[in-house]
A and B are shown apart, each in its own frame.
Chain A
Amino acid sequence: MAESEQSQRRSRRDEVDEELSELPTTDTAKKDELDADVDSLLDEIDDVLEVNAEEFVRSFVQKGGQ
């Protein structure tokens, strides 16, 4: 993965973290570990998601089947 992409994503996540920082959090190590796991999963998925979700979803039109 290109380094610039990595830092881009990291900064986007930081923004989200800031927005969420007012929410109450339970500060256990286990929860942090789980959160990190989810974060890395979503990062991985962000890399493979089709670009332009709105247009992609709109153009997925099927003929009916059985």
Chain B
Amino acid sequence: MLRVMQEPHVSDPSRGRVLGIETEYGISALGQPVGEELHPMQLSNHVVKAYAAYASGPGAGRDAGWDYETESPLRDVRGYEVARNQAHPDQLTDSDLGMANVILTNGARLYVDHAHPEYSSPEVTSARAVVRYDQAGDRVMAIAAEQATQRLGRPVRLYKNNTDGKGASYGTHENYLLDRQTPFDRIVSQFTPFLVSRQVVTGAGRVGIGQASETAGFQLSQRADFFEAEVGLETTLNRPIINTRDEPHADAARHRRLHVITGDANRSEISTYLKVGTAALVLQMIEAGTLGVGPAGAGLRLLRAVPAMQQVSHDPSCTALLALADGRRMTAVDLQQVYLDACLRWLDGRGADLPDAQRRENADLVTRWQEVLDTLRDDPTRLADRLDWVAKLALLESYRQRDGLGWDAAKLSLIDLQYADVSPQRSLYAALVRRGSLQRLLDDAEIEAARTQPPTDTRAYFRGRVMDKFSADVVAASWDSVIFDVPGRPALQRVPLLDPLRGTQEQVGELLDRCDDVASLFDALGR
């Protein structure tokens, strides 16, 4: 089996895409502390440990330690490495300072990052599966908050949002595994206008304009005001629209992992689906090199991408005209249309080569994407049944009307915040879903299953299953390895998982079913 998992793959266009998403959740403890006030890092640590303790029955993950051997957060795809002593401490993500770090049985990682609890989804191969595991992460956090509340004796709140409205922002990052042969400057130039314009679809909505909400008002995105550069390595300061971190968690000779840091934390399943699905589709087309082919796509560059990011976010009418480098002016919706049209052309040509499941998902994605763009042109408020920012704005407007509130009213900021509360009882998003006001893609049973079970078609399957079955023998794990302490063997055994599409149920499911202990697993592996 190890041979199966390590065999170098032959480049094959029909191989599945590999995607994932990770979110840092906002966190606070209410009421008076028993002793000294907890540092947010300690509070986050309590939350992660509370979930680990809750889950340590059947379906447990464990605090197995993280294997940092192959992590390289300071390597830049542009070909140099930042010296550790010149790096901002926030950039040193490969040292965990004793903070809780749990690998879950669904293949996800739950840990403390930058004073926030973070859930990183397992690797999956479809946008729909991203939604499933992203929503499962929200469930994990809802349970974690409940458990931490009981353990600490104070109410703990977790929020799936990206800003406190007072100058701090924390991220929701999408990850797309790309072919390393795609020139990076092509990704920068062709993907940037997509990321800027997609906010009309993907925004989670925010009360307050400016990093510290200097101006009262509503904007589409939680994140837009925090971007200050077009390209760069940082994620916590001087944030770039295109992040160059070069840490593929896979064979670096073949892959690059594009780390997309502009996205909002979405509660709506449809918003997440469109966010990830359209980005994956556009990236496939950029890799294929067909975007620049059509007349509209040629030379599609924004004159100034960073101000354009804010311009789009600050315009709920979706009619602002963005200046392109070639002198044209276009709305964000029309820019999205250029990408959608190019995707349709690409799907018509290349579509036949894609696996069935991907073809079906792409067809569904482009249909929904077109509907959303048409409705945005016609009357954005009609998307309150699908998109987070529109649903939130509709709710805020109802309150403004009923209670006569101005945009500076604290109640509106509270509604913004509480929309994102992960608790099903307190979340205003959940209240809208219960009333049938927001469409869904999934049902609760699917999400609950994804909270404990791994995807079947990536290496996350192997990772999740061994955490479920052999966690007592797992010393450490990472995205691309699992290290076992096998009884009777003097040395630790490191199983590399460099290929994200190996270690699937098809490849190792029967073996994992059959072996009752880790020694027999390694015997069966022939090691």
Contact = CB atoms under 8 A, between A and B. Distances in A.
Partners in one complex: yes
Given A62-B168, A65-B170, A66-B113, A41 B413 contact: no
Interface footprint category on A: 20 to 34
Interface in B166-185: 166-171, 173
A46 B166 CA distance: 25
Contacts of B115: 62-63, 65
B116 A16 contact: no
Contacts of A53: 409-411, 413-414
Interface residues of B, number: 45
A19 B404 contact: yes
Contacts of A1: none
Interface string A1-35: 00000000000010010010000000000000000
B33 to A, nearest CB: 13
Contacts of B414: 49-50, 53, 56-57
Contacts of B168: 61-65
Contacts of B432: 41
B426 A61 contact: no
Contact of A49 (B165, B171, B404, B415): B415
Contact of B26 (A45, A49, A54, A60): A60
A54 B170 contact: no
A65 B113 contact: yes
A4 to B, nearest CB: 21
A66 B24 contact: yes
Interface string B397-408: 011001110000
A59 B28 contact: yes
Contacts of B169: 64-65
Given A16-B402, A44-B431, A61-B168, A66 B173 contact: yes
B225 to A, nearest CB: 13
Interface string B434-463: 010100000000000000000000000000
A1 B12 CA distance: 61
Secondary structure dominating the interface of A: helix
Contacts of A44: 431, 435
B418 A50 contact: yes
Interface in B23-37: 24, 26-28
Contact of B236 (A16, A49, A58, A65): A65
B431 A66 contact: no
B164 interface: yes
B417 interface: yes
B425 interface: yes
Contacts of A49: 411, 414-415, 418
A13 B115 CA distance: 42
A38 interface: yes
A53 B410 CA distance: 6
Contact of A42 (B399, B418, B426): B399
A10 to B, nearest CB: 13
A65 B428 contact: no
Nearest to B41: A63
A62 B435 CA distance: 31
Contacts of B415: 45, 49
A41 B164 contact: no
B399 A65 contact: no
A64 B238 CA distance: 12
B219 interface: no
A17 B15 CA distance: 61
B266 to A, nearest CB: 17
Given A19-B404, A45-B428, A66-B171, A60 B417 contact: yes
* Most chain B beta carbons < 10 A, residue from A48, A49, A54, A57: A57
A45 B432 CA distance: 9
Nearest to A48: B426
Contacts of B140: none
Contact of B114 (A41, A58, A61, A66): A66
B116 A65 contact: yes
Interface string B81-125: 000000000100000000000000000000001111000000000
B235 A66 contact: yes
Interface of A: 13, 16, 19, 38-39, 41-42, 44-45, 48-50, 53-54, 56-66
Q: Which 10 A-B pairs have the closest CB atoms?
A: A65-B170, A63-B115, A66-B171, A62-B164, A66-B235, A54-B410, A65-B114, A53-B414, A53-B410, A65-B24
